[in-house]
Amino acid sequence: MPAINVELRNVTKRFGDFVAVDNVSLQIEEGEFFSLLGPSGCGKTTNLRMIAGFELPSEGEIYLKGQPVGQLPPFKRNVNTVFQNYALFPHMTVGENVGFGLEMKKLSKADIAKRVDETLELVRLPNLGARKPRQLSGGQQQRVALARAVVNRPAVLLLDEPLSALDLKLRKTMQFELKELQRQLGITFIFVTHDQEEAMTMSDRIAVMDHGHVLQVGAPTNIYEQPNSRFVADFIGETNFLPCKVTHRDNGLATVVVGDKIKMQAACEANVSTGDDASLIIRPEKITISTGQNNNENGNTVLPGQVVEKVYIGTDTRFAVKLEDGSVLNVRHQNMSMDDPLTHVNNHENVFISWQTIAARVLTA
Amino acid sequence: MGKRRSLYLSFLLGPGAFWLLMFFVVPSLLVVVYSFMERSSSGGVIWNVSLEAYAKLFTFDPESLFVNDFVVIFLRSFWWAVLTTVACLLIGYPLAFYIAQQKPTARMILLFMVMIPFWTNFLVRTYAWKFILNNNGLINTVLSSLGMQRIPLINTPTAVLIGLVYGSLPFMVLPLYASIEKFDYTLVEAGQDLGANYFRIFTRVFLPLTMPGVAAGCILVFIPAVGQYVVPTILGGGKVAMLGNILAQQFGAALNWPFGSAIAVVFMILLMAGVLIYFAVEREEEAV
Amino acid sequence: MTVQHAQEGSLTRPTTTDTYYPPQKAGSLLLTWGKRLLWANMIFSFIFLYAPILVLVVFSFNDSRFAAKWEGFTFKWYGELLSNDAIISAFWNSIVVAVLSTIIATLLGTMTAIAMERFRFPFRKTYDGILYLPVIVPDIVMGIALLAFFALALDWINTALALPSDSALRPGLTTVIIAHVAFNISFVAIVVRTSLRDFNKALEEAAQDLGANEWITFRRVTLPLIMPGILGGALLAFTLSLDDFVITFFTTGPGGTTLPIDVFGRIRRTISPEINAISTLMLMMSIVLVIASQTLQRRRE
């Protein structure tokens, strides 16, 4: 098992009466790309700022390579930050910006110059050292901010929504580059974002936060496929929710009744018990839609329904299908061929939908 | 907050606070104390508590239309300050509006032209009017060379008012411009879209949103105007005195420091009351 | 409701069936006249602001003892100014007062501004109010207060030190400088606080994040970035000090005659081509200062 690099142990941060971070414990491993994901105001940035030292925890302790650092000022922590709007020093050149941390460590001028050049090379900005930040494009400024932080070879690199100011296309490129840089350097990255897609594509593990709590920590597949709460399921990707009642459960499977009518089986979270009012979740892309009842294999759940809405969105067609009990499910159907009979399905036509039984999950309501 | 931090704070705050306390707060309080003392005919005060100074200010004088001459001067100073403020607003608001509507270059040049008088020595600008209005000044010289009668212009209320407006105008225009420039013109379109005519857009949208600039400009004009000394001295020649003149007189030739102090105290109380009422009314309007 | 926008620069609107608009002609007539009035007001304002100053400048070159009667062009009044010892010494006094009071006020005002913007302490709100007072209180009131204060304070010192009347401390340049600092601290503090407030605090965090302690952060990041604000404050203080007449008038004494004090004495008596010449020079000085302040402001942006 890899060493623990950063650990938060029962950390709470209060601003007056407001609890920004509520009793959070996290372990982040050496060399990991770790994301803090959540909506604005969920406490992810406060968490990051406590690791950086800009905020001191009200309770709990933060460990960096096993050493408690919770009460240390930022300049005494071997941690560097890439700020949301880069926070490049406007009165210094790019080279001076990047060399600032090394200068603080009292390295010789020659060493500083050498490492600044190397690092600018690394972020693919060679020969720009003499420019002022304002003469650079947004993407270039982003790279300078990155260079300024990694040049110090910190134990952890903290990134506070560093891509949010870039346009979509540049953001995609930078996501890839960041990931690549992290692989090359082997430094632990802690990445704060509210963009679930960004978190999914880049992270080894994700912590989903809401209202100061960490709801779930896990690899992207784990978070997406096995969300442990309604919030996580809803925040990450698109999900259908069906209110249901649990009538029976054994092992990982539960039998539920949806809308007093439809009985089905689904995978089940450990904290759900018989008799509970619960939520059944099923992702739209996991549902197969067909005009005939030909998916009746073992291990599949098959239900009849009626198309109430159909939207063509290029790669997919999105159907809204009304079930017998009146609840509506969103279904994504990939547009493989124009010969597909579903291309010609109209509203109010009857269809069948089906999914692998364990693709649906039962969560506490 | 650590001990080091509070040490740092006192290092930063200490010297400035000492200076302000010693050379602003203490002198101001001294004026209040002096106003309750007995007059010393050689300047300064005799350290006996007395209400003489305030009595003199509020004694009825049968010769005068109002209570006494000092009250007349009080009223005149405030009235002229009001006139000055209104005149500056009437000239300054359209001017600031016009400047804000120009293209960037023109705007910069016009603004710069307002700034120059703003930074120019007040004495010089007041003297410029004396040069024009004096008995042997520009207007009268031109008149007499045309064979016409000279007219008395200097040392009249008109001369003082011209001087007051002239001196204050830039102080009105600059804050007005700042708030008009910030105005979001899509609001005008929104207003038109909702069917409001120009007059209504101006009174219901534009004016309320530029009110902070109006308030700032009025205060910057009104307060210095009430306490003017230079303008009434140079353009009024002491014949149309304002508060500044009697204050200077009591601390100067008249050597009645308690009375001068009492005038200053009453003056400051009225001024503060005026400003407070102004803000109270403003806040109430905002609440509506 | 139908959404209709007037085209930019024109008042003709697309007609709609369901929305009432006032008749076009009345509206555009109103606007045309409004624009003309605005323009006329602008022209009037600038004539009002500049004509008196221009007249002054022109007549400073007038070759006549009678100030307002044009007799021809001359530089002689400027020559006379330069050989007038009283004016030259008043000018240097003004410079000494302005330079010293600006240096002290800029230092103290900047320190005060940092304390007010970066620290929380008891009575901060109260002090905030006191800090604004010297800007608001009419200068004549501050002038007489300082007059009373210096009279009393110097009297006490002279008595305490038992100084004979010929070597007793009197009001003079020192008291003027003290007084100028007292009002300029507030002006500097206000200007510097604005630039501290506009300052992106993430820059300070970034410096600390890179290993700079509070002092280095201040010296290397905060100070260089608020420098235009500090210089702007200093320039304002310098101008206010150079231009101040009223407070100087009440706090000065023998040997403490500044240029405005000297000029006031002359203006009060009469109008003359010499005064026009001094005024013109003071005007030039102001213009140089405005240009300097504008350049600074442009650099700040």
How far is Cα A157 from Cα A182, in angstroms, rounded to an integer? Answer: 9
C176 close contact with B: CB closer than 8 A? no
CA distances from A202 to A33, A139, A154, A171, B150 (A): 7, 18, 20, 12, 89
What are the tens digits of pLDDT across the range A317-337?
899 999 888 889 999 998 888
Work out the average pLDDT over A273-277: 82
**Host domain of residue A153:** 4-233
Work out the average pLDDT over A52-69: 92
**Residue C142 contacts residue B24 (beta carbons within 8 Å):** yes
pLDDT value for B63? 66
Which of A35-39, A120-124, B194-198 shows the lowest per-residue confidence on average (mean pLDDT)?
B194-198
A197 and A245 together in one domain: no
Number of B/C CB contacts below 8 angstroms equals 259
pLDDT interval class at C1 (50, 70, 90): very low
pLDDT value for C189? 95
Closest-approach residue (CA) in chain C for B132? C52
Considering just the CA atoms, what is the radius of gyration of chain B in Å? Answer: 24
How far is Cα C228 from Cα C83, in angstroms, rounded to an integer? Answer: 38
Closest-approach residue (CA) in chain C for A87? C203
Domain harbouring C197, CATH code: 1.10.3720.10
Q: What's the total number of domains in chain C?
A: 1
Question: Cα dihedral sign for A355, A361, A362, A365?
Answer: negative
**Residue B250 contacts residue B168 (beta carbons within 8 Å):** no
A227 and A244 together in one domain: no
- Could you identify the residue written with the tokens 């990694």? A150
**Host domain of residue B124:** 68-255
**Residue A224 contacts residue A191 (beta carbons within 8 Å):** no
**Host domain of residue C183:** 79-300
- Res. B12: pLDDT tops 70: yes
How far is Cα B236 from Cα B77, in angstroms, rounded to an integer? Answer: 13
A161 and A256 together in one domain: no
Task: Provide residues of A within 8 Å CB-CB of chain C.
Answer: 52-54, 73-75, 79-81, 83-85, 87-91, 100-101, 104-105, 148-149, 152
Work out the average pLDDT over B67-78: 82
Query: Which residue among A233, A258, A288 closes a domain?
Result: A233
- Res. B226: pLDDT tops 60: yes
pLDDT interval class at A45 (50, 70, 90): very high
What are the tens digits of pLDDT across the range C136-170?
899 999 999 999 999 999 989 998 988 887 788 88
A148 and A272 together in one domain: no
C115 has which bridge partners?
A: none
Has residue C236 been placed in a domain? yes
- Could you identify the residue written with the tokens 């702007």? C232
Nearest-CA neighbor of C250 among B35, B33, B248? B248
State the CB neighbour count (10 A cutoff) for residue A37.
28
How far is Cα C160 from Cα B202, in angstroms, rounded to an integer? Answer: 66
Work out the average pLDDT over B223-234: 92
Closest-approach residue (CA) in chain C for A148? C210
pLDDT value for B286? 59
DSSP label at residue B32: H
- Of the ranges A211-225, A300-314, B64-78, B190-204, which is most confident? A211-225
Classify residue C26 by burial, with Cβ atoms within 10 Å: 0-12, 13-18, 19+: exposed
- Res. C13: pLDDT tops 50: no
Nearest-CA neighbor of A26 among A64, A52, A54, A56? A64
State the CB neighbour count (10 A cutoff) for residue A259.
14
Q: Do chains A and B touch (3 or more CB pairs under 8 A)?
A: no
Query: C209 and A74: CB-CB below 8 Å?
Result: yes
Has residue B8 been placed in a domain? no
φ, ψ of residue A267 to 5 degrees: the values are: -65, 155
pLDDT interval class at A41 (50, 70, 90): confident
Q: How many helices (H) and strands (E) does chain A have?
A: 8, 20
A183 and A97 together in one domain: yes
What are the tens digits of pLDDT across the range B136-156?
888 888 898 888 888 888 899
pLDDT value for C5? 41
Work out the average pLDDT over B104-119: 87
How far is Cα B279 from Cα B276, in angstroms, rounded to an integer? Answer: 5
Percent of chain A whose pLDDT exceeds 90 = 48
What are the tens digits of pLDDT across the range A70-121?
889 999 999 999 998 889 999 999 999 999 999 999 999 999 999 999 999 9
Listed in sequence order, the DSSP H helices in A136-252 are 138-150, 168-185, 196-202, 220-225, 230-235
CA distances from C211 to A80, A190, C190, C204, C206 (A): 9, 19, 31, 11, 9
Query: A85 and C225: CB-CB below 8 Å?
Result: no
Has residue B63 been placed in a domain? no
pLDDT interval class at C7 (50, 70, 90): very low
State the CB neighbour count (10 A cutoff) for residue C131.
22
Classify residue B147 by burial, with Cβ atoms within 10 Å: 0-12, 13-18, 19+: exposed
Which residues, including other chains, have CB under 8 Å from residue B87's CB and lie 6 or more apart?
A: B161, B165
B40 close contact with C: CB closer than 8 A? no
Has residue C40 been placed in a domain? no
CA distances from B17 to B32, C105, C124 (A): 21, 12, 11
Question: How far away is chain B from the Cα of C54, in angstroms, using its nearest Cα?
Answer: 9
How far is Cα B172 from Cα B214, in angstroms, rounded to an integer? Answer: 8
pLDDT interval class at A299 (50, 70, 90): confident
> Could you tell me the strand order of the sheet in which A328-334 lies?
A288-290, A350-356, A300-312, A316-323, A328-334
Q: How many residues does chain B have?
A: 288
Take residue B31 and report the two structure tokens written for it: 């004026």
Cα dihedral C197, C199, C201, C202 in deg (nearest 10): 150
When CB atoms are compared, the residue of C49, C55, C239 closest to B138 is C55
Question: How far away is chain A from the Cα of C299, in angstroms, using its nearest Cα?
Answer: 12
Nearest-CA neighbor of C289 among B104, B170, B171, B121? B121
Which residues, including other chains, have CB under 8 Å from residue B273's CB and lie 6 or more apart?
A: none
CA neighbours within 13 Å on the CB side: how many for A167?
Answer: 3
Number of A/C CB contacts below 8 angstroms equals 61
Question: How far away is chain B from the Cα of C149, in angstroms, using its nearest Cα?
Answer: 5
Domain harbouring A74, CATH code: 3.40.50.300
Has residue B39 been placed in a domain? no
Has residue C207 been placed in a domain? yes
How far is Cα B205 from Cα B198, in angstroms, rounded to an integer? Answer: 10
- Res. C187: pLDDT tops 80: yes
- SS3 label, residue A139: helix
How far is Cα C115 from Cα B13, in angstroms, rounded to an integer? Answer: 6
Q: What is the DSSP string of B142-184?
A: HHHHTTPPP---TTSHHHHHHHHHHHHHHHHHHHHHHHHHT--
State the CB neighbour count (10 A cutoff) for residue C14.
10
When CB atoms are compared, the residue of A75, A84, A85 closest to C212 is A75
A226 and A246 together in one domain: no
CA distances from C44 to B213, C31, C37, C50, C52 (A): 22, 20, 10, 10, 13
Domain harbouring B157, CATH code: 1.10.3720.10
Work out the average pLDDT over C110-136: 89
What are the tens digits of pLDDT across the range A193-203?
999 889 999 99
When CB atoms are compared, the residue of C31, C66, C142 closest to B136 is C66
Has residue B7 been placed in a domain? no
When CB atoms are compared, the residue of C120, C243, C271 closest to B121 is C243
pLDDT value for C28? 60
φ, ψ of residue B39 to 5 degrees: the values are: -70, 140
- SS3 label, residue B62: coil
A164 and A139 together in one domain: yes
Which residue type does B54 have? Y
Nearest-CA neighbor of C244 among C62, C78, C105, C150? C105
Has residue C149 been placed in a domain? yes
Which of B211-215, C250-254, C276-280 shows the lowest per-residue confidence on average (mean pLDDT)?
B211-215
Question: How far away is chain A from the Cα of C209, in angstroms, using its nearest Cα?
Answer: 5
State the CB neighbour count (10 A cutoff) for residue B32.
14
**Residue C181 contacts residue C103 (beta carbons within 8 Å):** no
Has residue B275 been placed in a domain? no
Where are the extended beta strands (E) located within B50-151? none
Domain harbouring A341, CATH code: 2.40.50.140
pLDDT interval class at C12 (50, 70, 90): very low
- Res. B288: pLDDT tops 80: no
Considering just the CA atoms, what is the radius of gyration of chain A in Å? Answer: 25
Nearest-CA neighbor of C156 among C174, C168, C144? C168
pLDDT value for C8? 37
CA distances from C165 to A141, C154, C157, C161, C168 (A): 70, 12, 12, 11, 5
State the CB neighbour count (10 A cutoff) for residue B118.
15
Q: What's the total number of domains in chain A?
A: 2
Work out the average pLDDT over A216-239: 90
DSSP label at residue B204: I
pLDDT interval class at C25 (50, 70, 90): very low
How far is Cα B150 from Cα B136, in angstroms, rounded to an integer? Answer: 9
- Res. C68: pLDDT tops 50: yes
Q: What's the total number of domains in chain B?
A: 1
Which residue type does B251 have? F
Helix C259-269 × helix B122-133 angle, to 10°: 10
Work out the average pLDDT over A41-62: 92
Question: How far away is chain C from the Cα of A49, in angstroms, using its nearest Cα?
Answer: 10
Query: C207 and A100: CB-CB below 8 Å?
Result: yes
pLDDT interval class at C10 (50, 70, 90): very low
How far is Cα A92 from Cα A94, in angstroms, rounded to an integer? Answer: 7
Question: How far away is chain C from the Cα of A74, in angstroms, using its nearest Cα?
Answer: 5
pLDDT interval class at C15 (50, 70, 90): very low
Take residue B232 and report the two structure tokens written for it: 């009434």
What are the tens digits of pLDDT across the range A134-166?
999 888 998 999 999 999 999 999 999 988 888
Query: Which residue among A199, A218, A233 closes a domain?
Result: A233
Listed in sequence order, the DSSP H helices in chain C are 24-59, 76-82, 85-118, 124-136, 139-160, 173-198, 201-209, 214-217, 223-243, 246-251, 259-269, 273-300
Percent of chain C whose pLDDT exceeds 90 = 45
A105 and A200 together in one domain: yes
Which of C51-60, C197-206, C285-294 shows the lowest per-residue confidence on average (mean pLDDT)?
C285-294
Query: Which residue among A213, A233, A253 closes a domain?
Result: A233
Take residue A29 and report the two structure tokens written for it: 């491993």
